[in-house]
Amino acid sequence: MKNIVIIKGSVRPNNYTSMAVEVLINEINKNHTVSYQLIDPKDFKLPFPGLGEHSVDAVRLNAIVKTATGIIFATPEYHGSFSSVTKLIIENLGFPSALAGKPIALLGVAAGDIGAVKSLESLRSVCSHVGGIVLPGPVSVAHVHEAFDDEGHCIDKKVDKRIRSLFLNLIDYIDTFICPNINLEDLVRNEDLN
């Protein structure tokens, strides 16, 4: 079974990043060959770089990410970049990073006209630098406050479709480029045992 790890980059109450993540989770739950794990930064006490890199939560975070078949980062845009919470998670994934070699899809939300373009550009650069395979076609949600209602439901059909397609594109990539390699490796190993 494929395992998708969603890394949520916001801790604010009633944040739009979490609302967008719920759309992803809804789509993932339709696919019975995929499981997911949500990394919510509120559930981790991660140290700043250089201050306890082997903390219990950093070790737990790494273990979760290492089991991932694919990663989805979801972040708000703060001051022209991705959130500090997202950066702290990346820093606690070590170097070499647990993200190395993993296919990564990016989702950003922002209130402005251009959406989260700047945060996604920055996040793409950092994830690529640590060895992640960042997929084309990130989803940037502009005017996010208009895309979701007060109860957190996505009311913009185009935004809903784009968020769902992010997951579907990640799965297509995994099925095309990752899983055939894993299956071939398993076949070779099993044949060696016979």
Could you tell me the residue range of the domain that residue 171 belongs to?
2-193
* Ordered per-residue pLDDT tens for the chain, 194 residues: 999 999 999 999 999 999 999 999 999 999 999 999 999 999 999 999 888 767 999 999 999 999 999 999 999 999 999 999 999 999 999 989 999 999 999 999 999 999 999 999 999 999 999 999 999 999 999 999 999 999 999 999 999 999 999 999 999 999 998 876 666 566 677 665 55
Cα(139)–Cα(110) distance, integer angstroms = 11
Strand partners, 134: 104
Asked if 8 and 41 touch (Cβ cutoff 8 Å), the reply is yes
Q: Residue 110, CB half-sphere, CA atoms under 13 Å: how many?
A: 21
> How many domains does the chain divide into?
1
Burial of 100 (0-12, 13-18, 19+ CB in 10 A): middle
pTM for the predicted model, two decimal places: 0.91
- The C-alpha atoms of residue 62 and residue 32 are separated, in whole angstroms, by 25
CB 94 within 8 A of CB 53: yes
Query: For the domain that residue 49 is a member of, what is the CATH number?
Result: 3.40.50.360
Task: Report the half-sphere exposure of 154 (CA within 13 A, side-chain side).
Answer: 25
